[in-house]
Amino acid sequence: MSDIFTSFNINSSGMTAQRYRMDIISQNIANANTTRTEDGTPYRRKVVTFAEKNSQTPFSNVLNTATDRYSGTGVKVNGVYDDTWTDMVKAYDPSHPDADEDGYVSYPNVNIVTEMTNMIDASRAYEANATAFTASKSMALKGLEMGKG
């Protein structure tokens, strides 16, 4: 029966991670035109990375074998990073309050099409985890029903 709980844990961690990713994507979309943040620079797109939950090195895996049985498996958010590899968008608008001395405004490096594509991807991954969770739950219930008979 512990395998079914492992399945629940993996699926729920996937749903949590994808929900967080959708929150960050929504933040990117909301700030697509923010030319000045608290530090005075344009908003910089955020990117979420994932990692295996509770992955350990071989030594610590051997050392912690007893406790590993009770730790979760699945996926976790590894970090949220600023997208420093994509250039900011420059637009000529000398009347804008954030224009430089040449009349150009630096807009965030947020591409709405990319963000919407990522949102669809995160949404589908969330749905896949929800479907797998429901299937696992259904199998567990069928197993309990078989035990009654």
Per-residue pLDDT for the chain (149 aa), expressed as one digit of tens each?
A: 567 778 888 899 999 999 999 999 999 999 999 999 999 999 999 999 998 876 555 655 555 654 555 555 788 899 999 999 999 999 999 999 999 999 999 999 999 999 999 999 999 999 999 999 999 888 888 888 886 65
Is residue 123 situated within a structural domain? yes
Q: Quick one: 11 exposed, middle or buried, by C-beta within 10 A (0-12, 13-18, 19+)?
A: buried
Is residue 41 situated within a structural domain? no
The boundaries of the domain holding residue 140 are 1-32+46-82+111-147
Q: How many domains does the chain have?
A: 1
Is residue 103 situated within a structural domain? no
Is residue 106 situated within a structural domain? no
Is residue 73 situated within a structural domain? yes
Q: Tell me the CA distances in angstroms from 93 to 42, 45, 72, 109, 140, one per residue in order.
A: 15, 22, 52, 17, 61
Is residue 19 situated within a structural domain? yes
Is residue 102 situated within a structural domain? no
Is residue 63 situated within a structural domain? yes
With a threshold of 0.85, does the pTM exceed it?
no
